[in-house]
Structure 1
Amino acid sequence: MLSVRRSASAFVAVAIGVALVAAATLLLASGRPQVPDRLARAAVVVQSPEAGASADAFVPTRPWSATATAGLVGRLAALPGVATVVPDRTFYAQPLVDGRPVAADTRREDAHQGHGWSSAQLGGLRRTAGEPPRRPGEVVVDRALGLRTGAPVTLLTAAGPEAYTVTGLVDGPGVLVADEVAAALAPGVRAIGLMLAPGADPERVATAARGVVGGDGQVLTGAARGALEPRGDARTRWIGMQVLTATAALAGFVTVFVVASTFAFTIAQRRRELGLLRAVGATGRQVRRMVYAEALAVGAAAGLVGLLVGAALAPLLGRLLVDVGYEPSTFRVRYELWPVAVSFAAGPVIALLAVWSASRRAARVRPLEALREAAVEQRPIGRVRVAVGALLVAAGLALSVATATADEARIAAQYALYAVMALVAGATVLAPAVVGPVVRLLRSPLRGPGGAIGMLVRGGALTATRRTAAIAAPVLLTVAFAVLVSGMVRTTTAAYAAGRADNVNAGWIMVPDRAPGLSDRAVAATGGTALLPTTVYRTDTGKLPADRPLTALGVEPAGFAAANRALTVVAGSLDDLRGDDTVVVTEAANLRPSEAYAVVFADGTSVSLRVVAVVSDTSIPGDLLVPRAVVRTHDPSALTSTVYVPDRIDPPAGARVVDVATWAAEADAAEDRLVWLFTLLLIGVSAGYGAIAVANTLLLAAAGRAADLRLIRLAGATRRQVLWLVTAESAVVVLIGALLGGAVAFVGLLSIRAGLADQVGAPVDLVVPWSVVAGVVGLCLLLAALASALPTWRMMRHRPARSPVGLVG
């Protein structure tokens, strides 16, 4: 018969799991790309061709050249229903206020972008004061900057700080210059906006535009214009989707794990009840059906509660995701049908999956069980269970070997996660067989100040290994994931930072400060070696796919070779990298010196380059090297990312100088922050579930042991001794789970360290954030002590009959 007390723990676990799934799926459904504000008024937008990149590359589309843009604009302007055609030119421009860059939200590309004045109409920007910019040196800025018309303002550009005069103000963010100035700063175009005549049908105009554009672009209308959102926003949105997907998956996995443990413990406590049912004629199938019905009722009720809680929390969580950087500022929560349906179905599905093993055990209960009073387990784990556990452990070890030999960090992390999941499952299956040796190992600590208490704790753990293993299983899972994920993140971060620092031969490094990059003037003032990155696209169909986006670095060959310790030339000579038609490629390009290498630069022009050298794949932080002057010629807005300098200097505006170790640690600081927040989120989910599972299971155990505890009191034990007994038992169970979980995670971390050492080519230290591990174990200990001591204290409030027998401590 369904008991409210027995089903409460499963109800809570399922409700929390469904709430997380509901919130995550609602947020996932809301994560659609948004139409950029600067193009919102253009009913039809033509986008340049997509580059052949992976879904998570977030590179811009291949641009049109100035000639191709002019031809497209002329043909599109002749279409019926088109009032104005505006090529949207984008370049780097950042105002200086009080000598410091403003609007330096580096998570958004458009925070530092300037446009031509004509682009203002595409986003509906309204001029609130002054006049439009008509000549070089004139600019219109956001009124929120606090500037007045006629005032001077300095803009940071790719060339360096430039003096402008404010001729007007607008009611939105942006830097707007004369169209001819924008054309010089951004000759390549990636979007053309069409402003329609009154009454024109956008879909009809779009159909006509597709006939004009053909395969040289995409015509977008309505919500499809979300494809034009800034690459930074798209990348942030993708990261948020990975976080939400992982959270929902982990919540589902841990919920099934925890609820299965709870149902298994409940079935063990109901053996006499189930034996009575079998004694009066119930078949095994009927018992199993009854258990499934109970689980279905719990799952349906908990699913409904979890759905309502998750839906209510979704807006709050959405704002939190925006604040921490997992979603762009344009993110808004939208309620749709499919997340609601999936979440509502998740409750019963999770409960039925979780009760499957327990139902089989319940169906095997024999009528004789109704006559037994002893709670001592009658048989050890069976051979089938041992075989399954051994197979899971073997699979985990095999995956650990794959982790150590993986070529890429992302693949190694996936293998490590799967390895720990397999090892956790195997350790849980084999836990009853492991409890005995672990308890015997802890024999001395268990004696403690009171030998009798220690004896009872040790005896209880040894005679009820299944119960001990069931309570320890959530701790095992929680500690294993906490140690693995936190250790993996910290070890990987430290390893890559060390490898990055070892590859640089410089005393100091100049990096951007509150700006996306460094200007040419800032670089020239240092006299150091600079990297000027840009994106280029393959145009031939030779040994690499056409339109494949590549990172090209503009360098001075001699300085770059001196500053890069990892540089390994396998063919040709880096000294030949000069002129406007040379290139150095990596071995992955499968080319030899003197072969042709055709690319499209950021200005949309196609150039045939000549390979002069081939370097190893790990030699450069990009795909190819070209002379710095070539990058500047074809990409007027390219910004220098890094400058290697021999001595410390006073940095110009928008820059700062740091030592090599600081630069190496900060190179991926934004990524590391997001990864660590994600790590804490996953640990929080698993630790929260583990703590809830431990507390719920111990509450059930305490209720089932009332008679045993009263008997101990009758034997002469004081209330304090009984409380110490149950608290010590709980601590031992948590300690067993923590030891098993730590051992499992340690195997995964060793394999990760081995793989990292091979990738970076240097020894890697294993870094474990002990504060996180201590917090997780401490939380489990605290809740375990409270969950066992509080119900025991309530049961021990009435003093039992006197007994001459005393329990000697």
Structure 2
Amino acid sequence: MLTLALRGFRSRWTTFTGSFVALSLGVALLTVMGLALASSVDAPARGPERFAAAPVVVKAQDTLHVPTRIGDRTQPLAHPGPIPARTVAALRTLGKVTQDRTFAVGDDLIGHPWSTAAFAPYHLTAGRPPHAPDEVVATDTGTTVGEHLRTAHGTVRVVGTARAVGTARAGGAGGAEGAEGAEGAEGAGSAPVFERALFYTDARAAELAPVSTQLVVVAAPEAVRRVVAASGSGARVLVGAERRLADADPHRDAEALTTLNALFGTAGGMTGFVSVFVVASTFAFAVAQRRREFGLLRTVGATPGQIRRTVLTEALLVGVLASVAGCAMGSYGAPWLAERVVESGIAPAWFRIGEHAWPYQVAFWTGLLVALCGATAASWRAGRTAPTRALREATADEHPLTMPRFLCGIALLLTAAVTLALALLTDPGDLLHRKTYTSRPLLLITATALLSPLLVRPLIRLLTPRGTLVRANTTTALRRTAALAAPVLVTVALTGSLLGATATLNDARATEARERTRADFVMTSATGLDARTLDRLRAVRGAEVSQTASSAVYVLEEGVALVKSEARAVDPERLAATTDVPLTAGRIAGLSDDSIVVNEEWARHRVGEHVTVWLGDGTRRSLRIAAVMPVGTGDNGVYITPANARGAVVDRVEVKVREGAEASAVRTALRSAAPEATLLTRDAWLAAAYPSAGFASADSTTRLGYFLVLGIALLYTALSVANTLLMATSDRTRELASLRLAGATNAQVLRLVALESLTVVAVGALLGLLVTALNLTGMWAALGLQSVRSPIHVPWPELGATTMACALLAVSAAVVPAGLALRGPVGSRR
């Protein structure tokens, strides 16, 4: 068998080259995604930054702990409270206590009290510390002493610049005074910039951030622990590496890796599907193409088992060589991918591909298994065919759709239909989740591809005139036609389903927001609006003002799951003037300090029922349900009153112009009342907050993930189409020569080949469009059940571009080898 397989390599090198290239590229892609996924599991250990030189940091309780029958459930608090004053007083008896305060002063710019600068440690590189309320020290290297900066809290003057240096000792810390005069300390040991900050005087920082949730104590850690434990405040004592938990967003590395893990996991799964799909199809077509050869072997006495063993030996050789080559290519491709995701800002700067063995193992054995399975499925039918029938089948495809393939296709089609119906009946919101609408199309794509020989013939008859050679050739060689249409089907269906689902969901969210917002103007502030500013806004003549604050509530579902729900703290009377809250029961006017407005996703959502919740500061309350909202696209959270959102700051003000008032005058007065806030018209705010520009409005991670998937699909389409056409053209030399002998010119033959390719691409595109329509219809039905009225968004430009690319690839891959085969005298090609 080995000798026969090696001879087959020499005689049919075109077929085996195509299979080798398809498989090696598939293994390479699986290796790349596997290495990237393995490297995104664990974040590197990060040391403390702002408090690297602090001996002990005491952090107020910032986590909600709820006991359940299976253990404590935890969630981070939206509004951690301050460290109790009695605890602070007790700590002062141990040593110096410095209260830390952090507050936003602009986009990506935060403020701190100057007394905390020494604990990074920051050292002055120019100027002096701040002494007046409008003076600051800046860490931005592009800022100079004497410069005036406009912030959310007014204009300030830079009186000094500072830089963090990596020469801190964990056990010692000087006061802020020690930072003075350290202008020459910026030399060796400078640390990377980890924040853009302005340091205010301690008094001004206390005005801007009255609540202090953490402090630094210069004392022995054990003594601090005893005092904190005795206070019963739930505060944590941080020393050593734990001090990083006092930095801003200490879990950002883990969160970034979670995003990367989801990105590479999705891309890897789709890569595996596309590569396995195309490789198996390529191997099956390569084996089916050799029916004449198998028929001849059967006539000279070869048994079905010998034929199967020959094919499997060939597949084993190709599989081993291609898998090894693919692993080698993947080892070079993975670092390149890591560099791209870092450059795009999706991954943190430290992300690198690590040393992992299991991705190579998975990719190698997957490639080998796909090669063997693809060859086995086709060789089984060839091996059991009678010799005379095998010779007859070499001229035409009499039974291109076998019973096992038909049954598998019907089973997958029924599975897709049943799971969709169950989801619509039980949990339509699940169809709006990214994992669901990313993976669900695979069932329909596979089912349609398996049943394609049944669907291809009627589509070809629809697209081509009766009695033409294009119709005769494409309907006679149904296996070849289906093999060429399959990769086009995959690419078009993935493009339409993934991009269409994202765009449809974005449009639905935008539609939901447009129907809900009645305000003429929307004012937002990342730093929050204080009480005096709100009083000025409410005093604007001709304006109905409704202020809201972002908060959260927590509820224990089924006694074991602590679920966080985003909440808006509102005044119900003012809210009614600017917002049309969608309700399925109750009235928004019924909202009070003892009640809550929930959505239907909550386990308990009947008006009048009481639910036990934990507020954003951890306070436990029993609130009556005043009204119920539909689930919608998932953005309908919870409404509470400001009394149940202690610590939340007003970050959005919606304004309705009263009848008879001039909008321009109201707008001018609003700008004067809150000059540091962002004021937008209703349409401008909706466009910024809920972009409905289809797929272009998706976040960068989603776009990158889908570009990876669709790029891989298009690459594989090019490869599969080129392979299939090259293999098919090598067997059509006699056919093309017969056309020339019958009087056709070279141009006519090439035009025929091109038209056949375009017809097959059109068939694949129509099947892909059918899958797209079915998937998007399911999402549209789910949105309707969620009380969202939004049309289906079909990405026609992207579908057109994908189909055109497939058509160009198919025509090029068909015409070029056909033109080479037609060279020379006509009689020499008989």
Q: What is the distance in 1 between the residues matched to 2:706 and 2:340? A: 16
Partner of 2:468: 455
Partner of 2:575: 560
Partner of 2:516: 503
SS at match of 1:38: coil
Q: What is the distance in 1 between the residues matched to 2:520 and 2:509? A: 19
List per-residue Cα deviations over 1:246-275 (Å, max 9, x = no partner).
111111100010011101110012223334
Q: Letter of the 2:686 partner, please give it.
A: A
Contact 2:598 2:625 in 1 (8 A): no
Contact 1:557 1:574 in 2 (8 A): yes
Q: What is the distance in 1 between the residues matched to 2:214 and 2:318? A: 54
Partner of 1:451: none
- Mark the CA change 1:374 to 1:593 in structure 2 (over 3 Å): closer, same or farther: closer
Please list, as runs of the form range in 1=range in 2, the aligned pairs for 1:261-300 lying within 5 A after superposition. Answer: 261-278=281-298, 283-300=303-320
Partner of 2:805: 779
SS at match of 1:752: helix
SS at match of 1:93: strand
SS at match of 2:162: strand
Partner of 1:253: 273
Q: Letter of the 2:31 partner, please give it.
A: A
Q: What is the distance in 2 between the residues matched to 1:471 and 1:721? A: 22
Partner of 2:188: none
* Alignment partner of 2:416 out of 386, 392, 396: 396
* Alignment partner of 1:66 out of 48, 67, 82: 82
Shift in Å, 1:728: 1.2
Aligned length: 753
Partner of 1:169: 162
Shift in Å, 1:754: 1.9
* Alignment partner of 1:382 out of 380, 392, 402: 402
Identity %: 30
Q: What is the distance in 1 between the residues matched to 2:83 and 2:228? A: 19
Q: What is the distance in 1 between the residues matched to 2:139 and 2:274? A: 49
- Mark the CA change 1:196 to 1:351 in structure 2 (over 3 Å): closer, same or farther: farther
Q: What is the distance in 1 between the residues matched to 2:219 and 2:23? A: 53
Partner of 1:479: 492
Q: What is the distance in 2 between the residues matched to 1:164 and 1:545? A: 53
Contact 2:128 2:160 in 1 (8 A): yes
Q: Letter of the 1:490 partner, please give it.
A: A
Q: What is the distance in 2 between the residues matched to 1:753 and 1:309? A: 42
List per-residue Cα deviations over 1:172-196 (Å, max 9, x = no partner).
4322334565556556666677999
SS at match of 1:766: coil
Q: What is the distance in 1 between the residues matched to 2:374 and 2:609? A: 64
Are 2:752 and 1:729 aligned?
A: no
* Alignment partner of 1:533 out of 549, 574, 578: 549
Q: Letter of the 2:162 partner, please give it.
A: L
* Alignment partner of 1:442 out of 463, 466, 488: 463
In structure 1, the gaps of 5 or more residues are 95-103, 105-110, 448-453, 804-809
- Mark the CA change 1:709 to 1:610 in structure 2 (over 3 Å): closer, same or farther: closer
Are 2:21 and 1:12 aligned?
A: yes
- Mark the CA change 1:324 to 1:403 in structure 2 (over 3 Å): closer, same or farther: farther
Partner of 2:651: 640
Shift in Å, 1:559: 1.7
SS at match of 1:41: coil
Contact 1:256 1:353 in 2 (8 A): no
* Alignment partner of 1:41 out of 37, 46, 52: 52
Contact 2:406 2:450 in 1 (8 A): yes
Contact 1:127 1:168 in 2 (8 A): yes
Partner of 1:807: none
Contact 2:549 2:650 in 1 (8 A): yes
List per-residue Cα deviations over 1:617-668 (Å, max 9, x = no partner).
559966544444775x624xx3514534433525465554444344334324
Partner of 1:155: 151
Mean Cα displacement is larger for which, 546-555 or 419-428? 546-555
- Mark the CA change 1:745 to 1:567 in structure 2 (over 3 Å): closer, same or farther: closer
Q: Letter of the 2:141 partner, please give it.
A: A
Partner of 1:660: 682
Contact 1:412 1:752 in 2 (8 A): no
Q: Letter of the 2:598 partner, please give it.
A: T
Contact 2:524 2:678 in 1 (8 A): yes
Shift in Å, 1:504: 1.5
Mean Cα displacement is larger for which, 2-11 or 371-380? 371-380
Q: Letter of the 1:771 partner, please give it.
A: P
Q: Letter of the 1:690 partner, please give it.
A: T
Q: What is the distance in 1 between the residues matched to 2:336 and 2:93? A: 46
Q: What is the distance in 1 between the residues matched to 2:282 and 2:96? A: 67
Are 2:73 and 1:93 aligned?
A: no
Shift in Å, 1:730: 1.0
Which TM-score applies when normalising by structure 2?
0.78
- Mark the CA change 1:585 to 1:217 in structure 2 (over 3 Å): closer, same or farther: farther
* Alignment partner of 1:616 out of 629, 652, 656: 629
Partner of 2:34: 25
SS at match of 2:744: coil
What is the Cα-based RMSD across aligned positions, in Å?
4.5
Q: Letter of the 1:6 partner, please give it.
A: T
Q: What is the distance in 1 between the residues matched to 2:486 and 2:391? A: 30
Partner of 1:493: 506
Contact 1:18 1:343 in 2 (8 A): yes
Q: Letter of the 1:420 partner, please give it.
A: P
Shift in Å, 1:227: 11
Q: Letter of the 1:91 partner, please give it.
A: F
SS at match of 1:146: coil
Q: What is the distance in 2 between the residues matched to 1:716 and 1:765? A: 54
Are 2:798 and 1:765 aligned?
A: no
Q: What is the distance in 1 between the residues matched to 2:545 and 2:25? A: 55
Contact 2:576 2:588 in 1 (8 A): no
Q: What is the distance in 2 between the residues matched to 1:223 and 1:736? A: 61
Please list, as runs of the form range in 1=range in 2, the aligned pairs for 1:89-238 lying within 5 A after superposition. Answer: 89-94=101-106, 104=107, 111-117=108-114, 119-121=116-118, 123-133=120-130, 136-148=133-145, 152-156=148-152, 160-161=153-154, 163=156, 166-170=159-163, 172=193, 173-179=196-202, 182=205, 185-186=208-209, 229=249, 235-238=255-258
Q: What is the distance in 1 between the residues matched to 2:330 and 2:243? A: 29
Q: Letter of the 1:472 partner, please give it.
A: A
Contact 1:130 1:167 in 2 (8 A): yes
SS at match of 1:782: helix
Q: What is the distance in 1 between the residues matched to 2:387 and 2:243? A: 66
List per-residue Cα deviations over 1:580-633 (Å, max 9, x = no partner).
x6553426366877969664545x7x47586584443559966544444775x6
Q: What is the distance in 2 between the residues matched to 1:190 and 1:13? A: 58
Which TM-score applies when normalising by structure 1?
0.80
Are 2:810 and 1:790 aligned?
A: no
Shift in Å, 1:380: 4.9
- Mark the CA change 1:266 to 1:573 in structure 2 (over 3 Å): closer, same or farther: closer
Shift in Å, 1:30: 3.4
Contact 1:139 1:165 in 2 (8 A): yes
SS at match of 2:569: strand
- Mark the CA change 1:510 to 1:732 in structure 2 (over 3 Å): closer, same or farther: same
Mean Cα displacement is larger for which, 655-664 or 497-506? 655-664
List per-residue Cα deviations over 1:383-439 (Å, max 9, x = no partner).
333333222222223344346554316556655555532222222222222222222
Shift in Å, 1:739: 1.3
Mean Cα displacement is larger for which, 59-68 or 242-251? 59-68
Shift in Å, 1:161: 3.1
- Mark the CA change 1:551 to 1:85 in structure 2 (over 3 Å): closer, same or farther: farther
